[in-house]
Structure 1
C-alpha cells in the first residue's frame, strides 16, 4: 500500500515537472519570437525615419524582411511555432494561473486569456505567411477593412469607438506598467549582475513606453474613424508609426519610438532568458 502510494506520488510529481518544462519551453520560445518581430519592426521604422524604408513597418513588413534572409522560410516557420508556444503559455496561465503577485486571481486569468487569443491570431498570420498565403496583407489595409465592416453593423460606430478607446487604455496601461517596472516580480534578478539589471530596466522602460505610445496612437485613430464615420481614418501599425513623423518634432519623434521598439525586442529576449514562468 505504501509502495503504491509512493509510486503514485512520484508519477504525479513527474507529470508536474514535465508540464512545467513544456510550459517553460513554450514561454521562452514565444518571448523570443515576439522579440524578433519587434526588433524587425523597430529597424524598419528607423529606416522610414531616415528616408530609406521600403517595407511596411509592421508585422507583414517584418516577415517580408525575414523571408529575404538565408534560410528565410525556416526562420518564418520557427517564428510561427514560437508564437504558437506563446499562445499556449498564455492559455496555461488562463487555466492554472501565473507567477507573481495575484497570479491566480480572475482578473489576471482573464488578461491571460485575451493575450492567448491575440497571440493565436498573430501565430496564425505568421504561419499563413510562411505557407505562402501572404498573411492577410498590411496592417493598414486590415485596420481599414475591419473598421469599414464594423461601421456597417448596427451600433457600429459605438463598437469601433469602444474598441479604439480600449486600445488607447491598453497603451496607457502598458506605458504605466513599464514605468512602474512591474516585471520585476517575475524576473530572476538574483541571477543578474547590477549592470545587467540596469540594462534590463533601460530596455523594459524605454521599450514599454514606445510600445504603449504606438498602441495609444492606433486606438486614437480608431476613435477618430468612429466619430467621423470614415473607416479610412483608421490606421494600422505602419501608418501609426509614420504619423509620429508628422508632428512638430518631425522624424526625430519617429526615431525615438522606433528605437524604443528595438529596445522592446531586446527586452523580450531578456524575458526569454530570465523571466520566471
Structure 2
C-alpha cells in the first residue's frame, strides 16, 4: 500500500494519517482478498451455469447468497464487509493524496485527475459490495437482477433518462475494453511493486493478470451491451446485470466454451486480487 507524506494540523492531514495507519492497511489487504473471493465465487457460479448446474445468479448477488447459505457464511460476510469498507477508505485516501495535483497544469494535472477519478470509482464499487454483503449477512437482500431493472426503470423516468442509460452502457463497454487492453499490454504490472518478488512470483502475477483482466473486461462489456439494448428498446427488463450478460454469452454459438473461458478469466482475476494483497502499490 502507498504511504503518503504525513502532516498534522488539519482535518485533511488527519484523514491522510488515519488512511496511512497499519491497521487500515491490513484491513485493506483483507478487502482485496474479499474482492478476489467474490470474483472466484462468481466464476464458480458461471461454470455451473455453463454446464447445467446453475442455481444462484451468476453475479455478485449470487456469490453473496452462496456464502450466506454456508454454515460459516454470515460471519464471513461481515468480515468481507469490513475489509471492503477499508478498501473504500483506502481509495478515498488516494483521492486526497492526488488532490494537490488538481490545480496543477499539463501532465501532472491530467495524471492527478485520472488517478483521483479511478480511485473514486473503485471506492464506490467497494462500498456497494460492502452494503450487499451486509444485506446478505442480515437477511435483507433482494435479487440483484430485479434491483438493476428497477434502477434502470427509475432512470428512464428522468429527463433524457434513455440517453443516460445508453451512456452508462457505453461507459461499461469502455471500461471492459480498458480491462482487456490492460491484460494484453500487462499495464497492471506498473501498478504494483514487484521489486522483491522472485521470478516465479512475477510470472504468476503476470499470467493471472493476462487472463484475469480480459475475462473481467468481457463480462463488463456484456453488462454494458445489455444496458444499451435496454436503452434502445426502452425496456428496463433488458438490463439484467452480470448474470444476464453471462447468460447471453451462453446463448451464443459455442456458448458453453465461451462462458467457460470467461469464467476462467474471472477466477484468474480473483486469484490476482489474492496475490495483489501481498504486494504494495507503486508510488
* Contact 1:31-1:269 within 8 A present in 2 as well: yes
Q: Does 1:253 align with 2:253?
A: no
Q: Distance in 2 between matches of 1:38 and 1:22?
A: 25
Q: Distance in 1 between matches of 2:139 and 2:264?
A: 30
C-alpha displacement of 1:268: 0.4
Change (3 A) 1:172 1:104: closer
TM-score, scaled relative to structure 2: 0.85
* Contact 1:58-1:138 within 8 A present in 2 as well: no
> Which structure 2 residues correspond to residues 1-277 of structure 1 after superposition, within 5 A?
19-97=20-98, 105-134=112-141, 137-276=142-281
* Contact 2:19-2:93 within 8 A present in 1 as well: no
* Contact 1:225-1:231 within 8 A present in 2 as well: yes
C-alpha displacement of 1:184: 1.3
Ranges in structure 2 where 5+ consecutive residues have no aligned partner:
1-7, 100-106
- 2:104 paired residue number: none
* Contact 2:223-2:241 within 8 A present in 1 as well: yes
Q: Distance in 2 between matches of 1:275 and 1:178?
A: 19
Shifted more, 175-184 versus 263-272: the winner is 175-184
Q: Distance in 2 between matches of 1:149 and 1:106?
A: 30
- 1:4 paired residue number: none
Ranges in structure 1 where 5+ consecutive residues have no aligned partner:
1-7
Q: Distance in 1 between matches of 2:181 and 2:122?
A: 18
- 1:5 paired residue number: none
In the TM superposition, structure 1's runs of 4+ consecutive aligned residues that sit over 6 Å from their partners are 101-104
* Contact 1:83-1:119 within 8 A present in 2 as well: yes
Shifted more, 187-196 versus 71-80: the winner is 187-196
Q: Distance in 1 between matches of 2:280 and 2:54?
A: 34
1:199-244 per-residue CA deviation (whole Å, 9 max, x = no partner) reads: 2111111110011101111101101111111111112111111111
TM-score, scaled relative to structure 1: 0.87
- 2:5 paired residue number: none
* Contact 2:68-2:136 within 8 A present in 1 as well: no
- 1:3 paired residue number: none
Q: Distance in 2 between matches of 1:57 and 1:150?
A: 24
User: How many residues are paired up?
Assistant: 261
Structure 2 counterpart SS, 1:274? coil
C-alpha displacement of 1:276: 2.4
Shifted more, 257-266 versus 108-117: the winner is 108-117
* Contact 2:64-2:132 within 8 A present in 1 as well: no
C-alpha displacement of 1:20: 4.3
* Contact 2:19-2:90 within 8 A present in 1 as well: no
1:227-262 per-residue CA deviation (whole Å, 9 max, x = no partner) reads: 111111112111111111111122110000011111
Change (3 A) 1:50 1:18: closer
Q: Distance in 1 between matches of 2:228 and 2:56?
A: 27
> Over the residues paired in the alignment, what is the CA RMSD in angstroms?
2.3
